[in-house]
Amino acid sequence: MSAAVVTAARLLRERFTASSSRRVAGGVLGLSSAVLTVRAARGQSTTSNSHVAFCESARQSARQSVKTGGFRRPGAPLEELVLTPPDPVFSLAPVNPSGSRFFIEYGRRTSFTTLADVCIEANTKHRLGGLDFDAPTRMPTSLTWYDWIGPEIKCLDDDDDGDATAPTIISGLPSGEGIKYAFVKWSARGDRLAITVRDDASSTTSLYIIDAFNGQASRVAEGLRLNAVTGACPYLWSSDGEQLLLWCVPEANMRDIDSKIDRLFTPPEGPVTKECQGKKQETRTYANTLKSPHDDKLFEYYTQTQMYIHTVASEQTRKLGSPSMICDTSFSPDNCFLLVTEITGPPFSRSLLMSRFGRQFSVLSLAPEGDEGPQYFPLHQRAAQEDRPNRFDACPPGPRGFRWLPMKPHSLVFVVADGDNGDPR
> Residue 165 falls within a domain, yes or no?
no
Predicted local distance difference test score (pLDDT) of residue 151: 84
Which pLDDT belongs to residue 115? Answer: 74
pLDDT in tens, 287-310: 889 988 889 989 999 999 999 999
The predicted model scores a pTM of 0.76
SS3 23: helix
> In the sheet that 131-134 helps form, which strands lie side by side, from edge to edge?
125-128, 131-134, 139-140
Q: Which residues contact 218 (CB under 8 A, 6 or more apart)?
A: 172, 208, 209, 315
Query: Does some domain include residue 111?
Result: no
Whether residue 227 is contained in a domain is answered as no
Mean predicted lDDT score pLDDT of the chain = 78
Q: Which domain holds residue 302?
A: 233-264+285-425
Burial of 265 (0-12, 13-18, 19+ CB in 10 A): exposed
Among 48, 64, 82, which residue terminates a domain? 82
What does the pLDDT average to over 9-23?
44
Looking at residue 19, its pLDDT comes to 38
DSSP string, 154-166: EESSB-TTSSBPP
Final residue of a domain: which of 53, 82, 111?
Answer: 82
DSSP 52-81: HHHHHHHHHHHHHHHHH-S-----HHHHHH
Task: Identify the burial level of 42 via C-beta atoms within 10 angstroms of its C-beta, where 0-12 means exposed, 13-18 middle and 19 or more buried.
Answer: exposed
407 occurs within a structural domain = yes
How far apart (Å, rounded) are the C-alpha atoms in residues 388 and 36?
A: 52
Mark which of 25, 58, 82 sits at the end of a domain. Answer: 82
pLDDT in tens, 367-391: 765 445 578 899 999 988 887 777 7
Structural domain count of the chain:
2
Q: Indicate the pLDDT class of residue 242, thresholds 50, 70 and 90.
A: very high
pLDDT per position as a tens digit, 110-133: 667 777 777 777 778 889 999 999
Other residues' Cβ atoms within 10 Å of the Cβ of residue 269: 6
Farthest CA pair distance, the chain? 90
Cβ atoms within 10 Å, residue 103? 16
Q: What percent of the chain has pLDDT over 70?
A: 75
Residue 142 covered by a domain: no
